[in-house]
Structure 1
Amino acid sequence: MNDKKVCKTNCDSAADLLNRACFCKTLNRAELLVSLQAQALPAEVLQHLEQLFSHTAVFISPTQWQQLQRLVHAITRVTALSAYQQAALAKAPAIAQHASTVSGVFMGFDFHLNESGPQVIEINTNAGGGFLNAILLSAQTACCNAAGTFPQLLQPQVESEFVAMFKREWQLARGDQTLRCIALVDENPSAQFLYPEFLLAQSVFERAGIKTLIVDPRELSLVDGKLFYQQQMIDLVYNRLTDFSLTQPGNAVLRSAYENNAIVLTPNPRHHALYADKRNLVLLSDETNLREFGTSGDDIKTLLAGIPRTQLVSADNAEHLWQERKHLFFKPATGYGSKAAYRGDKITKRVWDEILQGDYVAQQQIPPSERGILVDEQEIALKMDIRAYVYAGEIQLLAARLYQGQTTNFRTQGGGFAPVFVAE
């Protein structure tokens, strides 16, 4: 018993020490460039990719890795409960009531790490970066200060798992029919910041023998109950839109195709309503709600320990939340990408009035942990969060995002995506 306790303490301390004080550069950029060039990406795309990747790696302890998995499993079990789904869908748009047979690709569970373990900051249903982080694995060198392992497979195996995930979505909806064409759909995709990832995804799918298009939803047409881009019929749509309920006019054709079962759409509005609406964090961090849903005692314990207390912002609790604002983070219920999200200690009265007029939640603020890094040979500390890419309740890939500022971004020198090792 004592040996186990000592080992746990040492392993946890090792990960924290490495993050704070190891300044190794684990990314071999020349090797990464070779991997990217093999995808036949345009030169301007390769240049843009430089700012997406940090040159270092992040470490977690074996205990933190186990806690991450337990949290993901617990959330997956609760969101499958009929009572939870009834509560989550009660506030969702009509299109989210549309039954779905698919699981939803690239669920993103974002965590901050603190002394009590990983804390779920938010859940996303179209989490970007999966393909980028898979290829990042191909260009890592060992840290000289630690023995570590990835809690996942290496790049070719991760990409194979991604392909299998999309084929599984297709099978769940269409059985033994052949998946012939995937369309990756986003608004003006070539102008999106993560457009390089779209090209990587296209390359991966086409190597697997699946025709892959990158399209703006306004370029789609519905003919005789089938979805087309020009003369190409589309079977499955990989949805990267941030119009989660497909209400914008430019998404009308895609919405009609989805509602009429003309295509398999993943992720879809139901996934967003059950997972990514920030108001769900209110349900998942409240013991009374969890008990009413029929959640097991073990899962309640896991969720209360791993999801910061979250409340709806309303006129009834406005005065209390304003007094407690320095300890809170405010997020729009259906927001994404940290847009219109505010740290409570930074908001003004004007911003507070806007929050009261909007549909916001207040989450107990969990400061991000830090990763020491060399920038121009100077030692600095960047904030970090951990993203778990999840499918059907299982973690496929872990990645960190390193940044400075109030929220995650890709503008920080030395920041960007970083691989995650489990410190042994």
Structure 2
Amino acid sequence: MNDTLPSSGPAVLADPVPLSDAAFRLVAEGVRRLWARIVAADPAADSGPLLLSYDVHPTPGGPVLIEVNTNAGGVLSAISAARAVNNCCPDCEQDRLRARLLELFKRDLLGPDPDHCGIVAIVDDHLASQPLLGEMQALAALMRPHADDVRVLDAGELRYEGGRLRHGATAIDRVYWRSTDFTIEDPEHAAVRRALDAGAITLAPSPDAWRAIADKRRFVEWSHAPELSRDAGSGLTFRIAQTVPMATQTLDAWYAERRDWVFKPVSGHASKGVYVGKSISRSRLAELPAGDYLAQRYAPHPVIDRNGQPWKYDVRFFADRGEIIGAAARVFQGQVVGLRTPGSGFAPVRIGDTCCLTGALLDVAAR
């Protein structure tokens, strides 16, 4: 299965990041409960969400959920990283995790029958500069036995002609949409939008699923009932970070409280436009368009020591709807998550004393 490993992109680190059994169980239970809330509020959440990620900051009081994504990147790096802490069945675990991922892709994108899948395109913008291009190519290799063909394409290479989305003369049947134009509204994506509206393609993750799950404004609603799970013995909780529209307070009020908050754009991604309050100047805060920004209660990144240097991290849990299927820590330096700095990357997560990530997942499923 080595052909499904990313050939480029963020590094896969060897040193594991510890996570307690209790914290892992809290996240697994809380993710299930949050998913139930999401679908109850908007059934469109279940319309082809594909691979989700729940980004979590472990804290002394328990894990805190700070973001949910529908086009989660890094899953193959996470699967690869899991091998580093597996002291019992590394090959079996790798096969199991990839099979679980492929099962998800079959349900939401490929369909169950390779003979009727057609041509699949993994589509993003400006491919040459994408840090996860290697992962897209590896995912194409993973899916290729289950389709007529799988191509990794730049959105600019596609056109809508004769009632079909086309790459050159080839008609595209299914699209794994990796662009951060989540709602497919940018003019340069008009061909994809026309094909989607005409029912000429199957596309995942769907714009409707993104709106129901990953639009950052959902956090405003969810944080009205922030506790997702609680461990009665330790008192630890898994909770949603409090999130409010920036327009609810004046500039003076936000500046006075800035150290308690992180300021995030409603439509942002990959930490772009995100400002940690303790580091923002008053003039920069005043420049932020309050109507397009949210304030999220600051939950500090935990820190690990690597060769005498402090490194921050969070934990990205990959999920099929409300069921965790993988995990990795994102290790970095700086104010916000960024995996391009030398030495940063995806690290394995060691969950309590379990021999492997799969073992921890099976233990949670059995409870």
Q: TM-score range by the shorter chain?
A: 0.7 to 0.9
Paired position in structure 2 for 1:68: 27
- Check whether the contact 2:26–2:230 (CA below 8 A) recurs between aligned residues: no
Paired position in structure 1 for 2:152: 214
What secondary structure does 2:42 align onto?
A: helix
Which of 174, 184, 188 is the aligned partner of 2:126? 188
Summarize the Cα distance change of 1:201–1:243 in structure 2 as closer, same or farther, 3 Å threshold.
same
Paired position in structure 2 for 1:15: none
Summarize the Cα distance change of 1:119–1:316 in structure 2 as closer, same or farther, 3 Å threshold.
closer
Paired position in structure 2 for 1:85: 42
Query: How far did 1:307 drift?
Result: 0.8
Q: In structure 2, how many angstroms separate the alpha carbons of the residues matched to 1:76 and 1:279?
A: 16
- Check whether the contact 2:38–2:45 (CA below 8 A) recurs between aligned residues: no
- Check whether the contact 1:108–1:387 (CA below 8 A) recurs between aligned residues: yes
Query: How far did 1:210 drift?
Result: 4.9
- Check whether the contact 1:384–1:401 (CA below 8 A) recurs between aligned residues: yes
Q: Which runs of 5+ in 1 are unaligned?
A: 1-34, 87-98, 291-297
Question: Number of paired residues?
Answer: 349
Q: In structure 2, how many angstroms separate the alpha carbons of the residues matched to 1:412 and 1:388?
A: 22
Please report the RMSD computed on the Cα atoms of aligned residues, expressed in angstroms. 3.0
Give the helix-richer structure, 1 or 2.
Answer: 1
Summarize the Cα distance change of 1:179–1:240 in structure 2 as closer, same or farther, 3 Å threshold.
same
Tell me if 1:163 matches 2:102.
yes
Paired position in structure 2 for 1:259: 197
What secondary structure does 2:30 align onto?
A: helix
**1:330-367 deviation digits (Å, cap 9, x = unpaired):** 10011100001001111112211122445111111000
Which of 34, 52, 57 is the aligned partner of 1:112? 57
Larger radius of gyration: 1
**1:267-291 deviation digits (Å, cap 9, x = unpaired):** 121122111121111110114xx8x
Query: How far did 1:245 drift?
Result: 1.6
Summarize the Cα distance change of 1:334–1:230 in structure 2 as closer, same or farther, 3 Å threshold.
same
Tell me if 1:52 matches 2:7.
no
Tell me if 1:339 matches 2:277.
no
Q: In structure 2, how many angstroms separate the alpha carbons of the residues matched to 1:299 and 1:307?
A: 7
What secondary structure does 1:197 align onto?
A: helix
Which of 155, 178, 198 is the aligned partner of 2:136? 198
Q: In structure 2, how many angstroms separate the alpha carbons of the residues matched to 1:264 and 1:398?
A: 28
Q: In structure 2, how many angstroms separate the alpha carbons of the residues matched to 1:334 and 1:188?
A: 19
Identity of aligned residues (%): 27
Summarize the Cα distance change of 1:133–1:74 in structure 2 as closer, same or farther, 3 Å threshold.
same
Q: In structure 2, how many angstroms separate the alpha carbons of the residues matched to 1:179 and 1:100?
A: 23
Query: How far did 1:136 drift?
Result: 3.4
Q: In structure 1, how many angstroms separate the alpha carbons of the residues matched to 2:18 and 2:229?
A: 27
- Check whether the contact 2:42–2:212 (CA below 8 A) recurs between aligned residues: yes
What secondary structure does 2:295 align onto?
A: strand
Summarize the Cα distance change of 1:309–1:362 in structure 2 as closer, same or farther, 3 Å threshold.
same
Q: In structure 2, how many angstroms separate the alpha carbons of the residues matched to 1:112 and 1:394?
A: 19
Tell me if 1:131 matches 2:76.
yes
| Counterpart residue type for residue 102 of structure 2 | V
| Counterpart residue type for residue 66 of structure 1 | R
Q: Which runs of 5+ in 2 are unaligned?
A: 232-236, 354-367
Paired position in structure 1 for 2:186: 248
Q: Which moved more, 1:309-318 or 1:328-337?
A: 309-318
Which of 226, 238, 241 is the aligned partner of 1:308? 241
- Check whether the contact 1:149–1:423 (CA below 8 A) recurs between aligned residues: no
- Check whether the contact 2:110–2:174 (CA below 8 A) recurs between aligned residues: no
Paired position in structure 2 for 1:362: 295
Query: How far did 1:300 drift?
Result: 8.3
| Counterpart residue type for residue 310 of structure 2 | A
| Counterpart residue type for residue 205 of structure 2 | P
Paired position in structure 1 for 2:258: 325
Q: In structure 2, how many angstroms separate the alpha carbons of the residues matched to 1:106 and 1:207?
A: 20
Q: In structure 1, how many angstroms separate the alpha carbons of the residues matched to 2:15 and 2:230?
A: 34
Which of 209, 221, 226 is the aligned partner of 1:283? 221
| Counterpart residue type for residue 347 of structure 1 | I
Q: In structure 2, how many angstroms separate the alpha carbons of the residues matched to 1:413 and 1:403?
A: 9
**1:123-176 deviation digits (Å, cap 9, x = unpaired):** 1111111122223334x266xxxx8999xx72222222222111111478x999
Summarize the Cα distance change of 1:413–1:170 in structure 2 as closer, same or farther, 3 Å threshold.
closer
Summarize the Cα distance change of 1:54–1:301 in structure 2 as closer, same or farther, 3 Å threshold.
closer
Q: In structure 2, how many angstroms separate the alpha carbons of the residues matched to 1:100 and 1:112?
A: 24
Paired position in structure 2 for 1:396: 325
Q: Which runs of 4+ in 1 moved over 6 A?
A: 147-150, 174-177
Q: In structure 1, how many angstroms separate the alpha carbons of the residues matched to 2:55 and 2:264?
A: 14
What secondary structure does 1:381 align onto?
A: strand
Summarize the Cα distance change of 1:348–1:128 in structure 2 as closer, same or farther, 3 Å threshold.
same
| Counterpart residue type for residue 394 of structure 1 | E
Tell me if 1:102 matches 2:47.
yes
- Check whether the contact 1:163–1:208 (CA below 8 A) recurs between aligned residues: no
